[in-house]
Structure 1
């Protein structure tokens, strides 16, 4: 457990819980930093909960504990879009404000979602990248997190939709594999892809754990020149592979800022500055004004952080020591 109490002016004089997908996820550790930064600066207390495994049952147990503790707000990166609904509705019925971030729960389970970037753009840009890397033809695979992760699944939907365009007719998506955001399993899934598909030309890993695992396998087996790799990764973990050419380029956003926006949103909900309705605005600290908008699907509302950022040899040294 990570707990931090701030002593600033009491704009957030309650307890704010951040529930992430699983322990040991570097991306989520950075999200925690930003969330604590925002809440602590306004006088709030942060409770951090990370289950040992990325399962729904583990997150439900944590939510039930937080209801008993009578926290003010629960912010959650969900392991499943729908299965958390009964527990989160119980929390809201007790007066607890609920938001999701990174990986969304359904609109009935939250007041608003904090989105790291436009999900359609995230999905499409990764197909565009792998296509360029492999010259527009060949077999590709996707190495995702868990099969229930809402953000991953939405990005993959847009990837598949992008692949329907005529210019990708010579690219074949042979498999979507799931490493469950666990390093060893992601390594094993990468090895299995290489064995099952000897003609594989590219891998997309839209998860920081997965892309680092895939890069490690390709590097160890000296396949960086034969199999292209892109996806979403932490600069600190991927710098050596970008410099070596194992991963020519990748994308991400700043997870510290994502957590920070989640913390600012939590305080705004708790103080009823916003309720999660379309058109509401609030000042999100150092990130400036943010607006509540309707999701692309038209189901529920969200607050957007920004666009995905491209990391390559030209800028990786600027970012590898940041996160």
Structure 2
């Protein structure tokens, strides 16, 4: 597992390197434009999100290694079609590649097809479009692995029984919906004593997610756990619970970043949560985009490429490249991370 080994070996140094975008020459510079003529536009779901700030830092690290120009653009809010103008502008500018975390699987499809027709390679990461709209999808972990890990965490923290709720991002987010569907299936088959009573959407907005948490606790007085598969949602939920009567009674888990969640782990609001390394995710997506732009790969199943410090990757079915497996953060290790 590349992800686990990166975290286990020199974690703090690697993450600090990624977040300051001070890459030390990678092994795949020849694959993506060492002559400096490749331009890559990074388009997260929205700006101002710590998760995407970390992934963009990884993208900048890769760009520095490759001699490519990396520019981040994006909307202030995550809505289905908010990314379209940025895609159109990048295509008009003739960028070599777009690295996009999709707010919607189809709403940006036409814009991406036009960009590809103009010669721009399209790599999705974190949240995918329909496969026909892009060349590659850099998946942070398998959907099954992410869903399973979150259920394992909440089941362990509530003693394997009781009511839980899900606090998601937007109702159209591809990755969120895939994980939720798998969690629902797994709950029905493997967790008969746990009941999912409601799924709500905070739209990856801190205040909305905070308010949704309050509403969940009011609507479901017997609630034992909240699972939030989004970094904005889990932090907002933990913030609310940390100063409420629910602290110590309602478990909060899901997907979060260590810097957002540290105070809530340290004060006992949150026992454990999971994620992958978003810096590595942005780094890998940019390495793949550069390889596509250089013509070293086409995105076909079986293509292989070198991704600098992360090593070699192989393109799987439907143009998917897998970073690794989810990693669990708790009081025993959270101090080792800075992102």
TM-score range, shorter chain: over 0.9
Find out whether 1:24 has 2:24 as its counterpart. Answer: no
Match of 2:17 in 1: none
Match of 1:303 in 2: 321
Residues 292 and 302, structure 1, Cα contact 8 Å, conserved in 2: yes
Gaps of 5+ in 1: 295-299
Q: CA deviation at 1:44?
A: 1.2
Aligned length: 311
Q: CA deviation at 1:12?
A: 4.8
Q: Deviations over 1:62-114 (max 9, x none)?
A: 11111111111011000001121111000111111011000001111001100
Residues 81 and 150, structure 1, Cα contact 8 Å, conserved in 2: yes
Q: 1:48-127 counterparts in 2 under 5 A? A: 48-127=72-151
Residues 100 and 113, structure 1, Cα contact 8 Å, conserved in 2: yes
Q: Deviations over 1:257-286 (max 9, x none)?
A: 000001100110001111111111111001
Find out whether 1:38 has 2:62 as its counterpart. Answer: yes
Q: TM-score, normalised by structure 2?
A: 0.89
Query: Using a 3 Å threshold, how does the CA distance of structure 1 residues 11 and 252 change in structure 2: closer, same or farther?
Result: farther
Q: CA deviation at 1:40?
A: 2.1
Q: TM-score, normalised by structure 1?
A: 0.93
Find out whether 1:259 has 2:277 as its counterpart. Answer: no
Match of 1:297 in 2: none
- In the alignment, the residues of structure 1 paired with residue 77 and residue 218 of structure 2 have an alpha-carbon distance, to the nearest angstrom, of 27
| Aligned partner (choices 236, 261, 272) of residue 249 of structure 1 | 272
Which has the higher relative contact order, 1 or 2, with Cα contacts under 8 A spaced 6 or more apart?
2
Q: Deviations over 1:267-307 (max 9, x none)?
A: 1000111111111111100100011011xxxxx22111110
Residues 100 and 124, structure 2, Cα contact 8 Å, conserved in 1: yes
> Structure 1 residue runs of 4+, over 6 Å off?
6-9
CA RMSD between the two structures: 1.6
Gaps of 5+ in 2: 1-20
Q: 1:99-248 counterparts in 2 under 5 A? A: 99-165=123-189, 167-248=190-271
Q: CA deviation at 1:222?
A: 4.0
Q: Structure 1 residues 95-104 or 129-138, which shifts more?
A: 129-138
- In the alignment, the residues of structure 1 paired with residue 47 and residue 99 of structure 2 have an alpha-carbon distance, to the nearest angstrom, of 16
- In the alignment, the residues of structure 1 paired with residue 64 and residue 299 of structure 2 have an alpha-carbon distance, to the nearest angstrom, of 22
Residues 268 and 274, structure 1, Cα contact 8 Å, conserved in 2: yes
Residues 208 and 232, structure 1, Cα contact 8 Å, conserved in 2: yes
Q: Deviations over 1:130-178 (max 9, x none)?
A: 111111211100001111111111111111111012x421211011111
- In the alignment, the residues of structure 1 paired with residue 36 and residue 95 of structure 2 have an alpha-carbon distance, to the nearest angstrom, of 12
Residues 202 and 209, structure 2, Cα contact 8 Å, conserved in 1: yes
